Amino acid sequence: MKKTVPLWVVLGVVVAAFLFTRLGGNRYIYFAGYFVLQYIVLATAWNVLGGYTGYVNFGTAAFFATGAYTALVLILAFKATLPVQIVAGALTAGLLGLGIGYLTLRLRGVFFSIATLALSVVLQTVVSNWEYVGGGKGLSIIRPKAPALFASHAEYLFVVMVLLAAASVALAWWVQNSRVGRGLAAIRDNEEAAECMGVPTLRLKLFATTLSGCLMGVAGTPFPYYVTLVEPGSVFSLDYAVNSLAMPMIGGTTTWVGPVIGAVLLGTAQQVATVTISSELNLLIVGIVLVAFVMLAPQGIVGLVQRLFHRRSR
C-alpha cells in the first residue's frame, strides 16, 4: 500500500490544480505559479546529483535548454503537441546526462563542476549559430489554441507544470528511500569506501546524471509555449544554474523536501521582488540568502528543523 501513496498524492495535487484553474482569477497567478513550479522541478533534479550523490552541477541551463530546444524543433518540424515534446525533451536531456556523466564522472569535486559549466557554454554557442531555431536572435512562436477544458494556455501550462513538479518530487522521494538512494548517499560520503562495500559506483552515478538531466530537460520543454520567444540568452541564463543550486542548499540537500522548500521560498521571493521592486534584483536576493544560509545554516532549513527537533527530544 505504501508504495502507491505518492501516486495518489501526485494525482490529487494535479486534480486540485485543475479545479483551481476553473476558479478563474488573475492570469498572473498562473504565470508566477509556473515560474515557481518550474524551479521545483529544476531544484529537485539538481538535488538528485548534487545533494544525494555529492556532484555539484553548474550546467543546469544546458539541460534545461536541451529540453526547450527539443520542444522548439518538434514544434517547428511537426507541430508536435506538448506531451510529445515533454517525452522527447526528457529523452534527449537524459541522453545528454548519460553522455556527460560518462565523459566527466572520472573528474571529482570542482573539476566536475567546471566541466558542466563548460557544457553550458559550448551548447549555447552551438545553438546561437543554428539558424533553424532562430540562432542568436531567437525565434517567436505562436501558441496553438488551448486544449479543451482550459480557458487559456496559461492555465494549461500551469496544470502541466503542477503534474511535472509533483511527479519529479515523487520520483526524488522514491530514489531517496530506495536501495539506489542509499547507494548514492554512500558515494557522497566516501566514494572509495562505497565501491569497496559493493556499491557499483560508476553505474549509480550514471543513473544519477541521467535522471537529473532528464528532469531538467522536462522542466525546459514547456518553456517555448510559456514565453513564446525562445532565444539563447534567456534559455541559457545563468539564473537557472544559480537558482537550481541555491534552492536545494537553502532548503536542505539530503532529503526530497529540501529543494521544494527552497524553490517555493526563493521562487516566490523572486517573483514578488520582480513585481514590487525590480526585475534585476532577483539574483541579488538569491546571493544574499545563499551566503546567509551557508554561514548560518549549512544544512539548510531541513537541517535546522532537524536540529531543533533533536534538541527538544533529548
Partner 1 sequence: MAALLEVRGVTKRFGGFQALSDVSLEVREGERFGLIGPNGSGKTTLINCISGALGTDGGTLVFRGKDITRLPAHQRTRLGICRSFQIPRPFTSMTVLENLCIPLEYAAHGQVPRSAVASEAMEILRLMGLDAKAQARPADLTGIDMRKLELARAMAAKPRLLISDEAMAGLSPAEVDAILPILFALNERGITIIMIEHIMRAVMRFSQRIAVLDAGEKIAEGTPEEVVSNKRVEKAYLGE
The answer to the question of residue 190 lying near partner 1 (CB under 8 A) is yes
Q: Is 194 in the site for partner 1 (CB under 8 A)?
A: yes
201 binds partner 1 (CB under 8 A): yes
Residue 279 makes contact with partner 1 by CB under 8 A: no
Applying CB under 8 A, which of residues 106, 109, 129, 189 lies at the interface with partner 1?
A: 189
Among 118, 130, 135, 195, binds partner 1 (CB under 8 A): 195
Instruction: Name which position in 182, 264, 265, 268 contacts partner 1 (CB under 8 A).
Output: 182
- Grid cell in block for residue 192: 572509495
What does the per-residue mask of binding to partner 1 show for 207-246, with x meaning CB under 8 A?
Answer: ----------------------------------------
Residue number, 121 or 196, with CB nearest to partner 1: 196
Q: How far is CA 114 from CA 57, 94, 119, in A?
A: 8, 20, 9
Shortest reach from residue 190's CB to partner 1, in Å: 5
Which one of 94-102, 181-189, 214-222, 273-281 is the stretch in contact with partner 1 (CB under 8 A)? 181-189
Pick the binder of partner 1 from 56, 185, 265, 283 (CB under 8 A). 185
Stretch that binds partner 1, among 83-91, 94-102, 166-174, 178-186 (CB under 8 A): 178-186
Q: Does 186 bind partner 1 (CB under 8 A)?
A: yes
Distances (CA, A) of 18 to 156, 158, 161, 260: 9, 9, 11, 20
Cα–Cα distance measured from residue 165 to residue 41, given in angstroms and rounded to the nearest whole number? 5
- The amino acid that residue 199 corresponds to is V
**Residue (186 or 290) nearer to partner 1, CB:** 186
Instruction: Based on the shown chain and the rule CB under 8 A, indicate whether residue 300 belongs to the binding site for partner 1.
Output: no
Q: How far is the CB of 116 from partner 1 (least distance, A)?
A: 23
Contact 202, 89 (CB under 8 A): no
**Could you tell me which of 31, 57, 32, 33 has the C-alpha nearest to residue 44?**
57
Query: What single-letter DSSP state applies at residue 146?
Result: P
Phi-psi domain of 203 (left: phi exceeds 0; alpha: psi -120 through 50; beta: other): alpha
The partner residues of 229 in beta bridges, in order of sequence, read: 140
Q: Of 37-45, 105-113, 176-184, 218-226, which segment contacts partner 1 by CB under 8 A?
A: 176-184
The grid coordinates listed for 258 are: 529540501
Q: What is the DSSP letter of 229?
A: E
Q: Is 192 an interacting residue with respect to partner 1 (CB under 8 A)? A: yes
Number of residues that bind partner 1 (CB under 8 A): 20
Residue type, 196: C
Q: Could you give the C-alpha distances from 290 to 217, 299, 301, in angstroms and in order?
A: 25, 12, 12
CB 289 within 8 A of CB 250: yes
* Residue 76 CB partners (closer than 8 Å, separation 6+): 132, 133, 139, 141
CB of 117 to partner 1, least distance (A): 26
Site residues (CB under 8 A) for partner 1, limited to 71-110: none
Task: Work out which of 22, 106, 108, 179 binds partner 1, going by CB under 8 A.
Answer: 179
Residue with cell string 516566490: 268
Give the separation between CA 314 and CA 308, rounded to whole angstroms: 10
Nearest to partner 1 of 192, 280 (CB atom): 192
By the rule CB under 8 A, 255 interacts with partner 1:
no
CA distance 28 to 274: 13
Residues contributing to the site for partner 1 (CB under 8 A): 179, 182-183, 185-186, 188-190, 192-202, 254
